[in-house]
Each structure stands twice: as C-alpha cells, then as structure tokens.
Amino acid sequence: MDFFSSDFKLGILGGGQLGKMMLYETRKFDIHTKVMDASKDAPSKIGCDEFFIGDLLDFDAVYNFGKKVDVLTIEIENVNTEALEKLEHEGVKVYPPTSALRIIQNKAKQKLFYIDNDIPTAPFSRFAYASEMKDSVEHESLSFPFVWKSAQFGYDGQGVKIIRNIGDLEGLPPGECITEDMIPFKNELAVIVARNVKGDVTTYPVVEMEFHPEANQVEYVICPARIDDKVAQKAKEIALKVSNSIQHVGLLAVEMFQTAEDEILVNEVAPRPHNSGHYSIEASYTNQFEQHIRAILDLPLGSTESKVAGIMVNLVGAEGYTGDVVYQNIEEILKLDGVTPHIYGKRQTRPFRKMGHVTIVNEDLLEARKIAQQVKETIKVIAR
C-alpha cells in the first residue's frame, strides 16, 4: 500500500498530547490522518486531516471510526477492544493488536502475563474488589506498606497509591485492583522497544526516571541512564523479552525497577509512544513518534541512537493553582542552551496536571542535568 498517497488513511484513537506529537510526524510524511477523541478541544484537533468527536470506550463510536481507515492506532490504552477485535476480523489493521492491548489494559492480567512468560516482576496479589484488601490485612496475608493499583484506567499517577496504614485504604475506588510489595529500588528505568509488522525489532537506550515524591509523576527522564553497562544490557534483554512475548506492533515502553541487588523487575508497559521517550524528539536520530508511525506502517525502523544526551522535565500544574494556564518564566528558560518547551495546549491547569514538557539536550549529560534543574526551578505552571 502506498502510505504516502492520499488514498491511504491512518486513524488515531485519542487526541491528547501524545496524538498531537504523533501528528508532527504524519504531517512530515504527509500521511492522511483521522483522529477521534471525546473532547472537541482535544490537542490533536489541529494537525489531523479529519477530526471526529466520540467516546473511545463506546463500541459503536470506535467501530464506526475504525471502518473509515486502513490502519488504526491508539495514543491511549483505554479504548473499546470489542470494537477493535471486530475491526481486525473485518480487515482493518489494528496496531497494537487487540490481543496485546487486552493484556495491557488490565493490570491484573498484565501481571499474570509476566508470570506466565517468566518475566521478572514484583510479587503481587489480585483482588476483585478493593474491600477484599482490608480482609487480607486483617488476616495478615497483606502487610503495610504496599502499593495499590487499580486494575483499570490508570493514568498520570492516578490509580496508584502507596498504602502505609489502614487509613490510606479509605476512599479508594471499589473495583478490581492489585497490590504489590514495595520494592526497595535504586532506579526506575525504561526501555522503548519498536516492532514493525514484519517483526523487525529495535530498542532505544535505557533511560532513568526520577519521580516527584508526592504526585507519583515523572520529574526527570534522563537518557542515557547513569547505570553500568551490564545492568543496561539486562534491562534491554528483559524489555525485548516482554516485546517478544506480547507480540505488539508499534512501540512498547517497558518501565522497570533496578533493585538494590541489580535485579530488573518489570513494573508496567504501554503499547504506544510514552512520556519516557519524549526526549527523543530532540536527542535521537529517529524520535519515538516517527518510529511508531514507521512500525505500524511496516516501514523500515530508524536508528534509535542519540545525537546528544537528553533530559526531559515534565511541566505539571503547580500546587495551589487551578484555572486558565500561564507558563510563568517560559522566556527565561528559552535563554538556556538546548532547551525546548513543548506546550500541550490544555487551556486549564490544576495541581499536578501534565501541561507540557521541556527537553534539555547537550553533548555532556551532566551539563544537561544542571540545565534541567535550572529549568525546573525557573518555569512554573500557574493560573491567571
């Protein structure tokens, strides 16, 4: 099929910031795109050829949208998989495939999948209802502290909570969940694997993630990770094992813990461009969004090497501010070398909401890290 002709149509489910960045690449390649999102003000409304409003969890909306395109991809996992399955049966190319998406959508399934495929992961328990956790605590089969994760629909650190005492269980959503042992880890790492339709596979360098202690959101993503080569090699091998087991098409972002004993445990995966790969727009020979497009169109995969070191700072809404967003001191950070802000285009800020990111690139990683800190201390996402 000639992807570069106007006969070809690519569909993207979800019109958020990831979709928006994907659209820079489809514009570059002049690929005809249709986007569906529930919000009429979605960031990807601009930049696609056609924009549709529809609920991503609604069978009819997803099915009818999918019938209009040749290849269908996602920028968010929470989509109606029954519709995707039917579309697949009817010849629409759905990437990632429904089978991969189903494993990933539900965190309990995802954990069981790791066990079945001999992929190292933190010990866990599965609960059909949140209330069952309390019983387990009372029967001493579950002890504090532990990590609670909603089985469905986690995003931006929502759906994850550290439970230190019985009080922390109050107010959790009632549905299916898992609990995980708290892993004393040295580092959180991530590897993005790209896999095209014919099965060619390539991995990006291992990146290191620093989390905001309260918001449970990534603060810095550092590429390459400052870890030794053996650990990096192990992380890549495990990411490839997950990729090979799950048989995705497109990107797979594999988040991992490096334990005190240099064990690697898989935390979770996402079958799409990922926050941990945003640095690649400025730092890599082939950025993650272009790579995802290459993979799902079964084009040759591009080089995943870096031109320079890259660090990403998430721009999240400052605490205490809700309303029309203002990017305070953005002009100040533009004075710094190798600094590129990406503003997602959400009109309203609220505490910890992801409003954008800033990439810092430099030949020298330590210099980049210094500038990243300066960026973090200078720019503030507030309300008018």
Q: Is 1 in the site for its own copies (CB under 8 A)?
A: no
Q: How far is the CB of 284 from its own copies (least distance, A)?
A: 10
* Site track for its own copies across 275-314, x = CB under 8 A: ----------xx---x---x----xx-xx---xx------
Cis peptide before 96 (omega within 30 of 0): yes
Beta-carbon contacts of 56 under 8 Å, excluding residues fewer than 6 positions away, are 13, 14, 36, 37, 38, 62, 76, 78, 79, 80
- Binding residues with its own copies: total (CB under 8 A): 45
Pick the binder of its own copies from 6, 117, 233, 348 (CB under 8 A): 6
The three-state DSSP-derived secondary structure of 46-86 is CCCCEEEECCCCCHHHHHHHHCCCCEEEECCCCCCHHHHHH
State which of positions 37-56 bind its own copies (CB under 8 A).
Answer: 46-49
The answer to whether 20 is a known ligand-binding residue is: no
Q: Is 12 in the site for its own copies (CB under 8 A)?
A: no
State how far the Cα of 256 lies from the Cα of 233, in Å rounded to an integer.
13
Q: Is 224 in the site for its own copies (CB under 8 A)?
A: no
Q: Is 351 in the site for its own copies (CB under 8 A)?
A: no
State how far the Cα of 136 lies from the Cα of 127, in Å rounded to an integer.
10
Q: Is 158 in the site for its own copies (CB under 8 A)?
A: no
Size (the chain), residues: 384
Determine the 3-state secondary structure of 276 from DSSP: helix
Q: How far is the CB of 124 from its own copies (least distance, A)?
A: 39
Do the Cβ atoms of 254 and 239 come closer than 8 Å? yes
Pick the binder of its own copies from 116, 237, 262, 324 (CB under 8 A): 324
Number of Cβ atoms within 10 Å of the Cβ of 204: 28
Burial class (CB in 10 A: 0-12, 13-18, 19+), 145: exposed
By C-beta, is 80 or 359 nearer to its own copies? 359
The answer to whether 331 is a known ligand-binding residue is: no
Do the Cβ atoms of 163 and 178 come closer than 8 Å? no
The answer to whether 180 is a known ligand-binding residue is: yes
By C-beta, is 49 or 263 nearer to its own copies? 49
Determine the 3-state secondary structure of 167 from DSSP: helix
The answer to whether 181 is a known ligand-binding residue is: yes
Q: Is 345 in the site for its own copies (CB under 8 A)?
A: yes
Q: Is 24 in the site for its own copies (CB under 8 A)?
A: yes
Pick the binder of its own copies from 331, 348, 364, 377 (CB under 8 A): 331
**Binding segment toward its own copies, per CB under 8 A, in 21-29, 101-109, 236-244, 312-320:** 21-29
Do the Cβ atoms of 379 and 329 come closer than 8 Å? yes
The answer to whether 166 is a known ligand-binding residue is: no
Displacement of CA 122 from its chain's centroid (Å): 20
> Which strands, in side-by-side order, build the sheet including 33-37?
50-53, 33-37, 10-13, 71-74, 93-94
Q: Is 342 in the site for its own copies (CB under 8 A)?
A: yes
Annotated binding residues, written as ranges, equal 107, 149, 180-183, 188, 267-268
* Chain residues in the site for its own copies (CB under 8 A): 2, 4-6, 20, 23-24, 27-30, 46-49, 285-286, 290, 294, 299-300, 302-303, 307-308, 324, 326-327, 330-331, 334-335, 337-345, 347, 356, 361, 363
